[in-house]
Chain A
């Protein structure tokens, strides 16, 4: 085709066909990119499920049935997992040595009114100490599930010799059975769901087979509670100020630009801020020392739930403010004018008209921000999450661990069984996030219908 000449006839048709073909190819590649992103999401989920369930060769140090028989019950009639707390303690007393028992009792008591391993005089003596007072002297009593977890961990001691993924377990079951019979003649090959009720209710443990996420889930909930209490009121107030009160001054523009920039700061930087300010400078407050609320003489040196919660609070504050601003901006100007015209003051108008109308938007935004906080890991590591605690957090001034931290630590271990429980913990985390997001959607829909 010569320059400038418009193609005609067959030439034109060929050119149009070529352009159309190009269009189809590129359209397919655009769609393909989108599908690739979705495929990545599906692979990610499948990969997690694949690790959270599967065959495992388990070997118990002592069989559960033998333990039931030992305390004079019929193993055919009652399983170890169904025993009462008293029976389980009998099993525990009969099978662990007294030193271990005393250590466990000092961590947390078994009964509020009597002692199992310690003598009363010794107990009174150690609890009267000023320093090194064990945590068991104050705080709650161990529940039945906790005692059961101890029996399994200390006595039954199930050990995973090898684990297989879900896909292998389903497709190659017979080969795995044959191989396991040769390699591990004493072990039971069982199909195990690493995600189970026991997993959710058991405390952390150094043994993957009996470890659970209760400590971590409670830690996460405590942290998120502190985060909400701090960042929700402050965030909404700041949004109201910026939308309703702020005139176009240099300072107010600075605040607005600053909030937008803060939203882009990497989360780990907030962790460093939290470490320097909340953990170090404000240690007296964040460790609870100013209230005298130091648990059993053991301080967490400011590396507490409060520090973590406030750090995450600062992290999600810009998100809450920006979302709340949008919700407030969406309230029609006529509502404000009507309120003002009836003689209401500015704050009365905001409280009675603007905020009620903006509530669904504000709440939805806040819930999504909280979901972000729940999944944050890096700032918590920097602020100083405890690497290993088995006792539940007792309050805002307790040492903490959190579910994402737990996932991080388990993922970093080289053994297969830790990968399995990391996958199970991820599912627990994703379910919590899903619940939060569902709440946000329900809220939005409910209020949207009313307005």
Chain B
């Protein structure tokens, strides 16, 4: 008879050797680097062009985002429809996104179709024209989307907390408004495109099962474009202005039944020696389902469907953030519990069992995550764009395996100081 009260023996995940599969680097004639990861058995491919074209570079709010969004809405020879139809005809997805430091264009396709698609990507980077009619549609639709967003407490809370942390003038804290959309002009978008895409700094990541001849084709399509190589620390500097007031309560919807709670503090970037250690403390505190915040506030008290903490993914400066949507009547109780959990971590060392559970869980997650080519590429991308190297990955593994409970307590004492946190509830 099986004794079900005894757990099967486990291999300690901290004993596993994790390897970040290496990339092959190819430099195009114009100096632009391609990081390539030839991994996977299915005929899937991802090509990601990253430009120094995030909202760090715009002179006027929303110009960077508009340029990024409208890139595929018309070239000198193709309409927006023709471009979309071309990518969709080959079953591919050309997506784009604009962040703070960087802006991306990403192609997902089956390897067998890639040769039909790259010429059109190159065309987009060269002769995009930003038709007035497309801009008008974009403005209207984004304004409407914003109006819906402003009705959502989580959306409002998200933008307010960013503004407290970094200031409304900083790209990390800047908000959009209906008026900002209204005042966008075609010419400034076209100029931004010319400077930051057409002749901008670019780095390319390719992952998946790489078809033969891909490098040659990349060279043909992109090697003679006027784009420049990505360089370390090219990021424009912006002043961070922290809000003076720490606590906010905003009433956004008189009929709201939940509050969006955000509790956050500024935190240094990945180059700071505490960053990777903080990842471990974060994990234990609110980083996953078994974390202390989840166990207490969801699984013990039932105040929320979920509560999470994380370090923001910014290059210049990060922030440590706790976020949850809780019943309107239990918002203050939730906040109190968050601070209590901080206090416990400041005052009592984490016991060996919980620490070992955290180590194993984190290693297990990384192991699972290293499985797919796109996930590996995204780790490399993080390393490259943050001016780090492969050692960063191995140091991170090492810290997970060896950080002591005393170090975690020191970190908690240093960073879990309630008086340094911004605190916001939007109902």
Tell whether A and B belong to one assembly: no
